[in-house]
Amino acid sequence: MELDCSGIVTRLGKWSVGPEPLYQQLAGGLKKAILDGAVPPDTLLPPERTFAGALAVSRSTVVAAYALLRQEGWLESRQGSGTKVLGPPLAQAKEFNPVARNPVFEQMLDRGEGLIDFSGGIPAELKLADLKLTHFNLSGILQEPRYLPQGLPELRQAIANQYSLKGIPTSEEQVLITNGAQQALALVAALYLQRGDTVVLENPTYFGAMDAFRGAGARLVGVTTDPVDGLRLDLLQRVLSTLQPRFIYLTPTFQNPTGAVMPVEQRKELVQLAEKNDLVLVEDNTLADLELDQAAPPPLAAFAQGDNVITIGSMSKLFWVGLRIGWVRAAPALINRLTRLKQVNDLGSGLVNQVIATRWLDQFEAVKEWRKQELLAKRDLMLKLLQEHLPDWGCTRPGGGLFLWVRIGPSNAGTLAQLALRYGVVILPGNVMSADDSYSQYVRLPFLLDPPLITEGIARLSRAWESQAVLNKTGQPTSGFIV
């Protein structure tokens, strides 16, 4: 695994949130990353000045951190060949596969106290008590004497019915229940991908999908996505003229992260293109139920004549991420094959979750309306605050979904993220959502937290932005906030 400077910064995660001097915190962060295997032995660390720039700290901080780690036996520096990772001192050398690490997944594992987190996509708690949906008696389901690898028949049927009601006739046999949309992506990856295969996807896109596909050994090719109309078909066609992907992955409705909605005509065209060229389309509609002031067009599956479209859905965003209920809708023969992979993976999803999901789906429309009002107010609050406090930034006004897609101008969002952390707010630079590491001038801002936290978070962000402006002007980190 070759790691460049930005890769190492990413793997460090939230290193700068403790009370210790910065150089000790940096050394501690590096140790943790080395212990976890995220920064493996023999990695060449960046030169001190480069690393300092990327971390928005002074060069002396990096010098002191390297010196400490050398002294303790973690690193080795040689004249002319830089600073190399030796590994944990005296540790047993064990080989592992490299494990994908992306910064959002890191955030889940490594929470600083008092931080305002603008990194994840977790909606606020649903007021289910009002809907009398919180008490359950398990006696009935406990009598189920089987593994149900495809999922609970009632839930499969309920999900099929939802598609049928929207005019897309669907049977239970076309639905596989998964542990959220993420497992659906992992199963699709396992079914189609061998090491070296190509996947075409939107640029930018959902990082969890990139992880799943890369984990299966795929090469990812991004196609630029218009923040209003979504995946650009002209560019897609150009890409397809030179390579043959195993499938095309996209989030056509309230695109993650841009919020784009692919218009109906473009959907038809894309499906026709796929059918003509025998291409598989994997559409991820995890955010599609989150209509705010824009209606979601029918899914790609609505326009398909054959079996080319695989549709992924989830209850995580509308209902609750802790439920872990997602699904794949596809042709029955494909569902059979995905089910076999699901069996090898975990034999089937938990049945209690599925009973709850089935009952909750009865309240789909009520929950959708509740979620819409909640998110609309938060989106508008965040847009207003950004306009007030950060007027230089360019921002989308998405008609649905969970995210604003914000261009912070020529500045580097990675540096801003480092500074923001020290002001107590977590943001994700856009390049972690890009197959080719582009969009480093962008930030994805979810409008999900409680209004007071949104307000305080944007205030902190604007202070970090001001400090970056100072930094840009002097060309050096200022000593006011960097020790």
Binders in 243-282 for a copy of itself, by CB under 8 A: 278, 280
Copy the structure tokens of residue 44: 């060449």
Subset of 445-464 contacting a copy of itself (CB under 8 A): none
Report whether the peptide linkage leading into residue 204 is cis, meaning its omega lies within 30 degrees of zero. Answer: yes
Nearest distance in Å: CB 352, a copy of itself:
5
With contact defined as beta carbons under 8 Å apart, do 12 and 31 qualify? no
Q: Applying CB under 8 A, which of residues 7, 40, 215, 394 lies at the interface with a copy of itself?
A: 215
Amino acid identity of residue 367, one-letter, is V
A 10 A CB-CB count for 222 gives: 22
Nearest distance in Å: CB 75, a copy of itself:
18
Q: Which residue has the tokens 């209920």?
A: 325
Nearest distance in Å: CB 88, a copy of itself:
9
Site string for a copy of itself, 108-137 (x = CB under 8 A): xx-x--------x-x-xxx-xx----xxxx
Question: Taking CA 262 as the corner, what is the angle to CA 258 and CA 263, rounded to the nearest 5 degrees?
Answer: 140
Site string for a copy of itself, 178-197 (x = CB under 8 A): xxx-xx--x---xxxxxx--
Q: Which residue has the tokens 């000790």?
A: 24
Which helix (H) or strand (E) segment holds residue 416: the answer is helix 413-422
Q: Applying CB under 8 A, which of residues 267, 324, 371, 463 lies at the interface with a copy of itself?
A: 324
Nearest distance in Å: CB 120, a copy of itself:
7
Q: Using the minimum distance from each CB to a copy of itself, give the nearer residue, 161 or 345.
A: 345
Subset of 303-322 contacting a copy of itself (CB under 8 A): 306-307, 320-322
Nearest distance in Å: CB 48, a copy of itself:
27
DSSP E strand boundaries for 330-440: 394-395, 403-407, 425-426, 428-429
A 10 A CB-CB count for 287 gives: 27
- Position 344 contacts a copy of itself (CB under 8 A): yes
Nearest distance in Å: CB 40, a copy of itself:
11
Nearest distance in Å: CB 304, a copy of itself:
12
Instruction: Show Cβ contacts of residue 289 under 8 Å, excluding neighbours closer than 6 positions.
Output: 296, 317, 318, 368
Copy the structure tokens of residue 381: 């609050």
- Position 1 contacts a copy of itself (CB under 8 A): no
Cα–Cα distance, 205 to 295 (Å, whole number): 21
Judged by CB under 8 A, the stretch of 153-161, 351-359, 418-426, 435-443 that binds a copy of itself is: 351-359
Nearest distance in Å: CB 133, a copy of itself:
8
Site string for a copy of itself, 147-176 (x = CB under 8 A): xxxx--------------------------
Q: Using the minimum distance from each CB to a copy of itself, give the nearer residue, 191 or 416.
A: 191
Nearest to 226 by CA among 264, 176, 173, 262: 262
- Position 377 contacts a copy of itself (CB under 8 A): no
According to DSSP, residue 394 is labeled: E
235 backbone dihedrals φ, ψ, rounded to 5° = -70, -35
With contact defined as beta carbons under 8 Å apart, do 464 and 419 qualify? yes
Cα–Cα distance, 343 to 147 (Å, whole number): 9
Amino acid identity of residue 57, one-letter, is V
Nearest distance in Å: CB 210, a copy of itself:
10
Judged by CB under 8 A, the stretch of 94-102, 296-304, 371-379, 466-474 that binds a copy of itself is: 94-102
Q: Applying CB under 8 A, which of residues 59, 166, 232, 337 lies at the interface with a copy of itself?
A: 337
Instruction: Show Cβ contacts of residue 127 under 8 Å, excluding neighbours closer than 6 positions.
Output: 370
Nearest distance in Å: CB 121, a copy of itself:
10
Its sign, for the CA torsion 160, 161, 165, 170, is positive
Q: Applying CB under 8 A, which of residues 139, 241, 305, 474 lies at the interface with a copy of itself?
A: 139
